[in-house]
Homo-oligomer: A and B are copies of this chain.
Amino acid sequence: MDIGEFGLIARLMGEAKARDGVVVAIGDDAAVVKVTPDCNVVFTCDCMVEDVHFLRTATGYNVGYKLMASNISDIAAMGGRPRYAVITLVTPADEEVAWLEDIYTGIKACAAQYGCQVVGGDTSRGPKVVLSVAMLGEVLPGREMLRSGAQPGDLVCVSGPLGASHAGLQVELGRIDASAACASEARLRHFRPVVPVDLAVTLGELGCRCANDISDGLASEAREIAVASRVGLELDSALLPIAPEALAIAHALGEKPGDYALYGGEEYALLFCVPALLSAEVCASYPAVQIIGRVTDDEGVFLLHQGERERLRAAYTHFD
């Protein structure tokens, strides 16, 4: 199999015509479906596989916490508030129950943090641990934020500093000593991402129509918005907020902190596009929010860097 994750989903799903009750179908962070005329439900799933998304050296708590956070992030990126989750667990028959319990402790801790409840699940035997979470969130009709909602003239914003998760990954991979400056903070940011749920719901209510969560890196998410909205996203490298953990660890490794911010995955920060007037209101209420560029009417993602305007390359997928 040699097609990217989105290519595979698209090919398997075939022509996913939005029919009765489907407000947003396959191809965004989550689906939005109508349940009653007054309430839309945001519906998503996200999985983690042993040796692919995590190693057995990780604590169960961290594995569970992060899996839950990634689903909460998908719901929030649509403007939804996470409410309920069900969990599928596949595990070898001889797996250590204490480790599995630790996973569920992490799952429940993250769920509680964001007001979400685990209401059911299924378990099965299998050769490796696979965890899949499906989650429901609520969103008021018309308040959804879609990848396709960017308009030329909008400002491009992120919810906060970037690159800390990628920095933490370098610690976890043993590329840098765990006692180095910022190493433990970076590792924490990698395993316990903070999802800006309140900001996301507020954005949807204020009239923001375009957001994406940064799961595969800023450059990749920006490209998804550009393609879906048929616009250009012009980012200014001087405006990129870089997390102190990313600065410290990239410097220690002789790498570029800006690359951590542009290409680092699993940040679960929010990338969004809003009219200029609205951005001022948002920045006033949420000081961590940073304007990083603007939406143009050509198509693609561009980086302004030392007076040059260059096209940004796309980022990795799970099926690279």
- A interface residues, Cβ below 8 angstroms from B: 1, 3, 5, 8-9, 11-14, 16, 19-22, 25-26, 30-31, 33, 35-36, 38-39, 41, 43-49, 51-53, 83-84, 86-91, 93-95, 97, 100-101, 103-104, 108, 117-128, 130, 132, 134, 136, 138, 318-319
Q: Which 6 A-B pairs have the closest CB atoms?
A: A134-B134, A31-B119, A88-B132, A31-B120, A12-B104, A49-B126
How long is the Cα–Cα vector from A122 to B11 in the complex, in angstroms?
13
Query: Are A126 and B86 interface neighbours, CB within 8 A?
Result: no
**Choice from B83, B121, B319 contacting A13 with Cβ under 8 Å:** B121
Which residues of chain B are near A127, meaning CB under 8 Å? 51, 127-128
Query: Are A25 and B119 interface neighbours, CB within 8 A?
Result: yes
A132 to chain B, nearest CB (A): 4
Query: Are A119 and B22 interface neighbours, CB within 8 A?
Result: yes
Which residues of chain B are near A132, meaning CB under 8 Å? 45, 47, 88, 122, 132, 134
How long is the Cα–Cα vector from A9 to B33 in the complex, in angstroms?
29
A108 nearest CB neighbor, chain B only:
B14
From A3, A33, A134, name the one whose CB has the most chain B CB atoms within 10 angstroms: A134
Which residues of chain B are near A33, meaning CB under 8 Å? 83-84, 117, 119, 136
19 CB < 8 A contacts A-B: A9-B123, A11-B97, A11-B101, A12-B100, A12-B123, A13-B121, A16-B119, A30-B120, A33-B119, A43-B86, A43-B134, A44-B120, A45-B86, A47-B88, A47-B122, A49-B90, A49-B124, A90-B130, A126-B128
